[in-house]
Structure 1
């Protein structure tokens, strides 16, 4: 089977299969993360938390479930600990970061973003757009403090999401000249201004931290973990779970649509291969019947391969209405369903497309005939 005849179907099958696997993987991973997060307990930051983490993470009184969790943590490269959601207020471990616009506002993380506001022409309509020119994030070591007990955030740069407060926002409008307006109209893009935004995780903000609690020599730490998100948020646990579950139905729909594409292309490939196999089998059968009919005619007429001549009608003395319209040899087959007798067997088998040369009707069957 020539592969080039099936390239489009093979490409379609590969693309849809890859997309189906990708969407299925996203759905499965999302469900696992949501389920893990639902099982994660919400714990208060107090002196009892230290003892609980010590027991769960490898203390003398560690139970079988905790031991299994510790073994799994060692297998994934994590320190023994406890997955948990903890709530506390943000407190810097050293000098805090001061706001650029309001020095009396201090925090532990700051994101400073410069964006260019644009008007872009899309299909004849002008639409607002933003282009980020620069974005920098700085942070200092900090912890979540409650009841005199702190949980240090081990790796702030690995936090997947942090709910920050907009401390200052300044927009500088662009004074465009008439020439600038004309040039922007011709390009389809016009600059309207520049916006500078400063966001901070302010000290004293009550947040919930999600991650893996680990007890080290210097105290409790909140580390990232592969099974649950690593984030600081002002929302509650239920809101975080709902936010993670929101895209899953749409991913299931996309996975279902691409799976239908896999079925469609697989069906096309199989049906085309079966059709080609049937055509080849039919042509082999027609060739066999034609050879048998000619051999029978030779035996009956006493002819031979040499007396039949070849293409172009050599060796034959036939009227024009008995000659093959392609090679001028003798007409010896009936084309069905149109019932025309206009070609020889060899030409009938080589017709491409498989249509009658006289009426262009599709040929279903080639039937040998005899003239006596």
Structure 2
């Protein structure tokens, strides 16, 4: 416990660093897996050859593939709330609160938090002429590129009471931001996921092996560059937090070794002092003693220690160091001992 109190700061830093390092390793491993799988994923055209291509795979399922096409709703599209001329297949409405909050250091900083978010979707397909492929569970996509249709900020006009309350509470309201985003009808996008063929037609959906579904305006090569940048950034974080962890571990090891060496030096000093005391006791002891005055263990040195709580004076100081548990006379447990002087 004493050593733990000495390294409590390093232990906290090492614990937090290990947690962040573990998350970085997990994300880096995931990013590498996605990158490697995406690099080998086939780029398929939405045409007459698509069904033949799917038939080459077991169970008519391509685990990960890339297709590009035009977005077309199956049925009525979603109409924008703020622009009646815009329609789409996915709609996301977000309301964010902007505030100025006082930090623990006493400074004021701008902060934003989402207070409400709604996503709407309608079934849709990617098409190329008369050929199409249905997109299933698009809202589960890890990357979903949407167009911003409307982005409005309504500032608040706080009164005197609001200013006073904000000063004491540490939060001042700035306003509300309302944003509408949509995947427009007719957009040309790239979808990456699992492609399968059934009686209902061809569909693309989130892969069953945990790989992400992507709906993006970027091409496969652009997405690979983006993922490579993320991988490089995670590697930098890995090196950074790994170095911090190594430094914290090194400081703990240094303090432990330093404490261990100090303890060894103290033990050597105690042994030297004990040997010196033993030698001085041997020189100063009386030689001509009766048998009653001699230690009951060695029968050479005088009785010098009283054992408590039994009160027996039966041991010399040398033998007392070797007998720690029970009195040699009455076998009662020894709780403490004290010097005894027999005249």
Residue 196 of structure 1 pairs with residue 178 of structure 2: yes
Unaligned runs of 5+ in 2: 288-300, 307-343
**1:349-360 alignment runs, 5 A limit:** none
Residue 267 of structure 1 pairs with residue 266 of structure 2: no
Report the Cα distance in structure 2 between the residues aligned to 1:7 and 1:98, rounded to whole angstroms.
Answer: 61
Report the Cα distance in structure 2 between the residues aligned to 1:265 and 1:197, rounded to whole angstroms.
Answer: 45
Write the deviation string for residues 210-268 of structure 1: whole angstroms up to 9, x where unpaired: 11111122111112124643121112222222222333333323322322233233333
Which residue number corresponds to residue 325 of structure 1?
none
Report the Cα distance in structure 2 between the residues aligned to 1:239 and 1:269, rounded to whole angstroms.
Answer: 45
Write the deviation string for residues 12-68 of structure 1: whole angstroms up to 9, x where unpaired: 433333332222222222222222222222211112111111211336xxxxxxxxx
Report the Cα distance in structure 2 between the residues aligned to 1:261 and 1:13, rounded to whole angstroms.
Answer: 8
Report the Cα distance in structure 1 between the residues aligned to 2:166 and 2:267, rounded to whole angstroms.
Answer: 69
In the TM superposition, what is the alpha-carbon distance from 1:186 to its structure 2 partner?
6.5
Match of 1:94 among 75, 78, 97: 75
In the TM superposition, what is the alpha-carbon distance from 1:285 to its structure 2 partner?
3.0
Report the Cα distance in structure 2 between the residues aligned to 1:278 and 1:127, rounded to whole angstroms.
Answer: 49
Report the Cα distance in structure 2 between the residues aligned to 1:179 and 1:138, rounded to whole angstroms.
Answer: 39
**1:63-82 alignment runs, 5 A limit:** 80-82=61-63
In the TM superposition, what is the alpha-carbon distance from 1:141 to its structure 2 partner?
1.1
Which residue number corresponds to residue 315 of structure 1?
none
Report the Cα distance in structure 2 between the residues aligned to 1:118 and 1:145, rounded to whole angstroms.
Answer: 44
Which residue number corresponds to residue 281 of structure 1?
264
Q: Is the 8 Å Cα contact of residues 37 and 64 (structure 2) preserved in structure 1?
A: no
Which residue number corresponds to residue 155 of structure 1?
137
Report the Cα distance in structure 1 between the residues aligned to 2:16 and 2:155, rounded to whole angstroms.
Answer: 46
* DSSP-derived class of the 1:200 partner: strand
Q: Is the 8 Å Cα contact of residues 172 and 194 (structure 1) preserved in structure 2?
A: yes
Distance 1:275 1:105, change over 3 A: closer
**1:109-120 alignment runs, 5 A limit:** 109-119=90-100
* DSSP-derived class of the 1:255 partner: helix
Report the Cα distance in structure 1 between the residues aligned to 2:272 and 2:172, rounded to whole angstroms.
Answer: 77
Residue 249 of structure 1 pairs with residue 232 of structure 2: yes
Root mean square deviation of aligned Cα: 3.3
Residue 207 of structure 1 pairs with residue 209 of structure 2: no
Which residue number corresponds to residue 296 of structure 2?
none
Report the Cα distance in structure 1 between the residues aligned to 2:52 and 2:5, rounded to whole angstroms.
Answer: 69
Which residue number corresponds to residue 114 of structure 2?
132
Report the Cα distance in structure 1 between the residues aligned to 2:20 and 2:169, rounded to whole angstroms.
Answer: 36
Q: Return the TM-score normalized by structure 2.
A: 0.71
Q: Is the 8 Å Cα contact of residues 145 and 215 (structure 2) preserved in structure 1?
A: yes
Which residue number corresponds to residue 27 of structure 2?
26
Q: Is the 8 Å Cα contact of residues 285 and 302 (structure 2) preserved in structure 1?
A: no
Q: Is the 8 Å Cα contact of residues 152 and 222 (structure 1) preserved in structure 2?
A: yes
Which residue number corresponds to residue 235 of structure 1?
218
Which residue number corresponds to residue 35 of structure 1?
36
Unaligned runs of 5+ in 1: 60-79, 311-372
In the TM superposition, what is the alpha-carbon distance from 1:139 to its structure 2 partner?
0.5
Q: Is the 8 Å Cα contact of residues 121 and 188 (structure 1) preserved in structure 2?
A: yes
Q: Return the TM-score normalized by structure 1.
A: 0.66
Q: Is the 8 Å Cα contact of residues 109 and 200 (structure 1) preserved in structure 2?
A: yes
How many residue pairs get matched?
Answer: 291
* DSSP-derived class of the 1:58 partner: helix
